[in-house]
Amino acid sequence: MSTLSSLITPSGVVTPTGTQTLTNKTISGSSNTITNIGLTTAVTGQLPVANGGIALTTIAARSIPVANATDTYTTVTPSALQSIRINAGNTAWEAYTPSAGGAAASWSRKTTTYTAVSGDKLIADTSGGTFTITLPATPTTGNYVEITDGSDWFTTNLTVARNGSTVEGVADDILLNIKGINVYFIFDGTTWQVTATLGKQGNGNTTGPVSSINNGIALFDGTTGKIIKDSGSTLPSGTVVGTSDSQTLTNKILSNILLDGAVTEDVYTLTGTVLSPVNGTVQVCTLSSSITFTENLTTGQSMTLMIADGSGTFAATWPTVTWVNSTIPVLPQTGYAVINFWKVSTTLYAAYIGDVA
């Protein structure tokens, strides 16, 4: 016998109560509400952007959904201490390491060979021995690396390898050998630019005058070690040498000289006609013909002349000279006559000492 409900309820009709599977149904109307839907098990597929989704099936850990085109999402996954930005072509998002002024990186201490990445702030400690920090390969404009002295670079140097780029336009690595400095390497698109600052030494800053003489020598003003002043003197021309360096002094006046040890005089072979101690204070001359001497000694100068007549027939004519005891030497054919010349004011004096073999 058929029931009334079976006669008036056709099969396949949605009923108000009970469990039912809907296939290929469209729910429309502004007043319909579906509740208690298990999203993790009952809903599958990707929700389009137009319907409030991002059209992605999965998002990796630490990734950021970004839109690179209209209604199209992708993800960018920055590394540690990186951020994201629109690329130079204004076409897509990208991860990057912030340059100076961006997110601050933490300082890290390095005691052995290390290859830096842009944004690194490194304390390079060479107390255990010298090592090399290598700059980033293929840097882009604004990339930077900051390195500070973690020990004493003057005693134990640090090498910074350029890694294919130039440093200040030079294709060479750089050796850091100054103590207590902080060095910035900033890539300008062509080369690594280098700037350095010296760390604070002592208590307070050094101050000086508002102006100075170019190439002037600075002096400390007082005993605080913080104030300098212009000495009013400039560096002398010529090469400045240390106390143990060799140097030839010209046109100098030495006062109150104490000579400790032997004095070596220049010995000069005289072939001309001028008696001059500039050539040497001990001079040797063997005549090859008769000769008339002149002189250019100045007051206070002296020289010793050893002179011989090589043939026995040559004669020497002397400049105006006052001979001690009026003794004018006869030049020997063998050996030398020894004569000492000196000048006082404008008078040239000479003393014939004797002959030597």
Domain assignment present for residue 61? The answer is yes
If asked whether residues 67 and 111 sit together in one domain, one would say no
Strand partners, 124: 110, 149
If asked whether residues 158 and 192 sit together in one domain, one would say yes
Q: Are 69 and 54 in contact (CB under 8 A)?
A: no
Apex 35 CA angle, 11 and 16, nearest 5:
25
If asked whether residues 147 and 65 sit together in one domain, one would say no
Burial 15-51 (b: 16+ CB within 10 A, else e): eeeeeeeeeeeeeeeeeeeeeeeeeeeeeeeeeeeee
Domain assignment present for residue 7? The answer is no
Pairing relationship of beta strands 347-356 and 322-323 according to DSSP bridges? parallel
Q: What is the CATH number of the domain that holds 163?
A: 2.60.120.640
- Residue 335's φ and ψ, nearest 5 degrees, are 75, -170
Apex 118 CA angle, 114 and 120, nearest 5:
60
Q: Are 327 and 356 in contact (CB under 8 A)?
A: no
**Residues 6+ positions from 301 with CB-CB distance below 8 Å:** 277, 342, 343
If asked whether residues 73 and 53 sit together in one domain, one would say yes
Strand partners, 286: 308
If asked whether residues 143 and 168 sit together in one domain, one would say yes
Q: How many independent structural domains does the chain possess?
A: 3
Domain assignment present for residue 236? The answer is no
If asked whether residues 51 and 118 sit together in one domain, one would say no
If asked whether residues 119 and 183 sit together in one domain, one would say yes
Q: What share of the chain is helix, strand, coil (3-state, %, to 5)?
A: 5, 35, 60
* DSSP secondary structure string for all residues of 156-178: S-EEEE-TTS-BTTBSS-EEE--
How far is the CA of 196 from the CAs of 120, 155, 302, in angstroms? 16, 18, 57
For residue 139, what pLDDT is reported? 93
Domain assignment present for residue 207? The answer is no
- Among 174, 198, 222, the domain-final residue is 198
State the residue for tokens 């007043």: 31
3-state secondary structure of 40: helix
- pLDDT, tens digit, 9 for 90 and up, residues 76-96: 888 877 888 877 667 788 887
- Residues shown for the chain: 357
If asked whether residues 124 and 86 sit together in one domain, one would say no
For residue 202, what pLDDT is reported? 47
- Among 155, 183, 198, the domain-final residue is 198
Domain assignment present for residue 244? The answer is no
Torsion angle (degrees, nearest 10) of CA 64, 67, 68, 71: 150
If asked whether residues 275 and 344 sit together in one domain, one would say yes
Domain assignment present for residue 91? The answer is yes
- Averages of pLDDT over runs of 10 residues in the chain (357 residues) are 55 63 68 66 65 72 77 79 76 73 73 94 96 94 94 94 95 93 94 85 63 84 82 79 80 84 92 94 94 96 94 91 93 93 97 94
- pTM more than 0.85: no
Domain assignment present for residue 53? The answer is yes
Domain assignment present for residue 308? The answer is yes
- Among 163, 198, 233, the domain-final residue is 198
- pLDDT, tens digit, 9 for 90 and up, residues 123-173: 999 999 999 999 999 999 999 999 999 999 999 999 999 999 999 999 999
For residue 86, what pLDDT is reported? 78
For residue 222, what pLDDT is reported? 85
If asked whether residues 271 and 350 sit together in one domain, one would say yes
For residue 38, what pLDDT is reported? 64
Tell me, letter by letter, the H, E, C secondary structure of 306-355: EEEECCCCCCEECCCCEEHHHCCCCCCCCCEEEEEEEEECCEEEEEEEEE
For 55, the domain range is 44-96
For residue 78, what pLDDT is reported? 83
